[in-house]
Amino acid sequence: MISVTVTEASQVAETRRRASGVALSLGFDETAVGRVAIVVTELATNLVKYGTNGEILIGIFEDETGTGVEILALDRGTGISDLAAVLRDGYSTGGSPGTGLGAVRRQSQAFDMAAWPNRGLAVLTRITSTVSRASSVALGPVPHFGAVGVPLRGEAVSGDAYCVRPHGKGWTVLVADGLGHGPLAAQASDAAVRVFRAHDHEPPGRILASVHAGLGHTRGGAVSVARYDADRGTLVFTGIGNVAGGVITGGVTKRLVSLAGTAGLVARRIQEFEYPFTPQSVLVMCSDGIGTSWSLENYPGLVGAHPTLIAGVIYRDFARGRDDATVVVAKDPAS
C-alpha cells in the first residue's frame, strides 16, 4: 500500500494524485476516478482539520467482494464519541458544511470506521469501477479477510508479502517477511507466495517445508502458514522465524507458536500447532514490522469491524517504523 502523511493542507492534492493514479492503473474510467478523488479529498481534508499525525494508506483490494481501490484514513487525535452523528449531513464540529464522511460513505461499496476516546479515528473505504443504484443505500458484503502492507519509508517496494487461499469451508493464509527490506527482501517473499500457491492444498507443515526449500536461491526470510478448518473448528499454525500470529476469541488473545530459523537458510524443525477457532474467532498475523505487544483489549468493538479496518488500527498503533509492516486479519467466511 502507498502511505501518504497528511498533516497540512498542501498534502491533500498529493494524496488525491496518488489515489487517482491507483484507480487509473485498474482501468477506472473518468467517472470512477472522480469518485476516488472525491473520497480521498474528503478524508485528507478531515485529517488536516481534525486529526493528529494523519496518514492515508492507498491500495488495491481483490477478494470475493470484487476488485477496486482501498483507502484507509488513520489519525491519532482525540477520536469521536458519536460515530453515527458524524455520518449525518449537516453535522460538523469545525464550521464546515458537515457532508464529508456522509459523502464518503455514499461513494463507497464498503465503508467502516472506528474511534475511541483519545485513540484517534480510523476510516476504511473501498471503491469499485462501477457502482450499482443500490450501493448508495446498502453497502456490499464484508470479506472474510483484509490486510495492510506498507513498505519501510523510503523504499519503493515492501519486503513482506501475503496470500489467502480458500480451503474447503475455511482458508489457508501465508505471510512472508523477506530478510531485511527493499527489492531483495521482496524477491524472497514473492518467491514464498509462488511456492505457496503451488502447494496450498497440502497440510500447512508440508507447505512450509516446500517454501523453505524453494527460498534457497534468495536471502530467505520469516514465513508462517495458518489453516482454518471450519468443519473441525480448528486452526493449524506453523512458522519459521518471527512472523507472529494470534487468535482472538471472546476477547481473549492466544499467541501462536513459530519456531526459530530463517526460511530458505536454516530451519531445524518444522512443527504444526493446533488451536480452537470458532466462527466468532479472528486470526491476526503480523510481520516483524509490527510490535509483538499488539492487542485489541483497549479497542472495544473492533473485533467485529471489517478485517481491513482491524489491520489498519493495529498498523497505526503498533508499527515499529523501522521495517516493512504487514498485518493480515482473517475470519470465518460464513460469519
Return the pLDDT at 85: 56
Return the pLDDT at 119: 86
Q: Are 224 and 270 in contact (CB under 8 A)?
A: no
Count other Cβ atoms within 10 Å, centred on residue 238: 25
Within the chain, how many helices (H) and strands (E) appear? 7, 15
Return the pLDDT at 270: 97
- What is the identity of the amino acid at 132? S
Q: Are 328 and 311 in contact (CB under 8 A)?
A: yes
Count other Cβ atoms within 10 Å, centred on residue 31: 10
Total-model pTM: 0.93
pLDDT digits (tens, 9 = 90+) for 192-212: 999 999 999 999 999 999 999
Return the pLDDT at 142: 83
Return the pLDDT at 101: 82
Question: How far from 52 is each of 47, 77, 120, 227, 266, CA to CA, in Å?
Answer: 7, 5, 8, 38, 43
- Superfamily designation of domain 145-331: PPM-type phosphatase domain (3.60.40.10)
Q: Domain ranges in the chain?
A: 2-136, 145-331
In this chain, the answer to whether the domains covering 2-136 and 145-331 adopt an identical fold is no
Q: Within the chain, which residues score under 70 in pLDDT?
A: 79-100, 132-140
* DSSP letters spanning 95-146: SS-S-HHHHHHHH-SEEEEEE-TTS-EEEEEEEESS--GGGGTS--PPPSEE
Return the pLDDT at 97: 34
Return the pLDDT at 86: 60
* DSSP letters spanning 250-278: TTEEEEPP-BSSBBTTB-S----EEEE--
- Superfamily designation of domain 2-136: Histidine kinase-like ATPase, C-terminal domain (3.30.565.10)
Return the pLDDT at 79: 63
- Strand 234-240 relative to strand 273-276, pairing: antiparallel
